[in-house]
Chain A
Amino acid sequence: MPVVPAKTPIACLLILLLACVTAPARAALTIEISGGVEGALPIAVVPFDISTLSGKPPADVAEIVAGDLDRSGVLEAMERSRLPATPHHSRQVQYDRWRAAGQDYLVVGRLLEESPGNYEIQFQLLDVLKQRQLLGISMPTRTRNFRSRAHQVSDLIYEQITGTPGAFDTRVAYVRAEKDAARKYALLVADADGFNEQDVLQSDEPILSPAWSPDGSSLAYVSFESQRPEIYIQHLATARRTRIASFRGLNSAPAWSPDGKFLALVLSKDGSPDVYTLNTATKRLKRLTSHRAIDTEPVWTPDGRTIIFTSDRSGTPQLYEIDVDGGRPRRITFEGRYNAGATLSPDGRYVAMVHGDRGQYRIAQLERETGTLTVLTDDSLDESPSFAPNGKMVIYASTQGNNGVLFAVTIDGRAKHKISTQSGDIREPVWGPFKSK
């Protein structure tokens, strides 16, 4: 989305309204932020002026924005009850009061209702110390994509302050398993803040390894619905799905190429599990590895030239990299007995993985250029890491008691929040791409 540098207090942006299918917001997931983060920049988000609306707005923009910024670990939103004043426009701001309250940044704004169901969100980001506006934006929205627009406000604020695009207006796919439910397994998609949870698929049989298509329109996944693992691609908006791999033996671990034209996958039809690539248009299948050992969990590097995968050819699972045209795989992990389940950062600099060492399975990050391995988490059964599309956070699955929960941790490890659900396990989180704007 283009951001107009703010010369006038409010720069108007014309944003096309994308027709997106969104159910009424419901928070099926609970997000707990564990305490403040040292060094987080203080920001106050004042409740927006809604006095001109005919009724209640679809959601509280300031609350959504404050929650988003808090979870980033970079910013810390002031508690609403402590706000020293409630201005809605820079003209009403007395900067001294906000400086005295220890705030670096201030967000003010209002909602306008152009016609029933058609709103305009107007906001300003103000630098308290320099007493000037950093951003002033007006964006139209409708009831059905109201929360999404509010997350875009967070994205713009985050980018203005940090220089990195925000990843708040994104979605996460994950699998839920409920012990006593009629339909035991569900593949779900929710907003990154846990709202708008939507079913993609329900099944009595396990579902695993969801993978977002690069354009965010579809998910590939493995379903056991016919009593064995098969790979499907499902278009989210239409729910249309296609079974794309149903060979004898394993059909597993789908991963999209960055251009969305190929799927890497694992088949055992020729003996042991090996990595293949499949042209999704021509259905042409190409075998990439052929080794007696387990070769699995392929992921593409962002340049589309190589694939990183897990193999136990050395005796224990380790990560290897191979050219998409084939050739000899190169081992890339050497620390620890167990390195599996790789995922690439969006810029391709880092590989996150499950790192097993002395009986503890944690998420670690390998810097590809230097080979430096950093352990990011501290539990004992962590798995399924996935980077936010801006590369600043990793979401992963963990276990608390007998429940599967998710955590999102900043890549510097400074901030972490827990995502859980009222009933059942949640697992295998995959952070979706930026929405196309």
Chain B
Amino acid sequence: MKANFKTNPWTVVVVATLLLSACATTQDEILDGPPPDDEIQMQGGVDDGSGADASALDGTDDGTFTSIVGDDGPPMSAVERLEQNDGDLAIRVVYFEFDSATLSDESLRILEAHGNFIATNGSVSVRLEGHADERGSREYNIALGDRRAQSVRRVLLFQGAALDQLDTVSYGEERPAMLGHTEEAWAMNRRVELIYTVK
């Protein structure tokens, strides 16, 4: 899977999309579960099937990538460090309030970890995909998704990421993570996804 990641950087995108659509098709289960209690609901990481711990977010990990450098063998590549991180770097989605591009404290902490990682790994680049929930007009939602992606970009730049490592795009309400016309679905859809690629 890691080799696959290297030869085909878009694997990450594909897998992430599958995860999202899995979410969409199991809406009932999600709705039956406990209601969301904070802004970070979804494990946005990549399940690479290697047991490299893309487990559910518990919010307790301090998660800096320096803590997971292998203690023997050759030094890990940027990709391996990213893949094996089970802390903040494993979280690849941040969420927003309605009609807002303001980042929560928790999102800031996560993005600072990503910013550090990107700054110290010049071979990675990140596409920031901004999204909105379905309410209101589509074009306004595209602009809102753009603003959200820009908010995230600003934090990553502040942490030292280079301009050419970051790309933003907004899909507005066109790519919901969860279907449905509920507060839960809307909360899941107001988001920015961080999609890593390796040069």
Contact = CB atoms under 8 A, between A and B. Distances in A.
A383 B138 CA distance: 8
A214 to B, nearest CB: 20
Looking at chain A, what size class is its interface with the partner chain? 35 or more
Interface in B100-139: 134-139
A356 B171 contact: no
Q: Is the interface of B mostly helix, strand, loop or mixed?
A: mixed
A296 B142 contact: yes
B138 A356 contact: no
Interface string A205-237: 010110000000000001010011100000000
Given A224-B171, A316-B99, A252 B143 contact: yes
Given A272-B150, A273-B146, A399-B181, A361 B135 contact: yes
Nearest to A310: B140
A428 interface: yes
Instruction: Indicate the size class of the contact surface on chain B.
Output: 20 to 34
B174 interface: yes
A62 interface: no
Contacts of A271: 150
B76 to A, nearest CB: 29
Given A206-B171, A273-B147, A356 B136 contact: yes
Contact of B137 (A222, A224, A354): A354
Nearest to A353: B137
Contact of A266 (B136, B139, B150, B179): B139
B169 interface: yes
A294 interface: yes
B136 A428 contact: no
A436 interface: no
A310 B137 CA distance: 10
B165 interface: no
Given A250-B170, A294-B143, A209 B135 contact: no
A222 B136 CA distance: 18
Given A268-B146, A296-B143, A381-B181, A209 B138 contact: yes
B81 interface: no
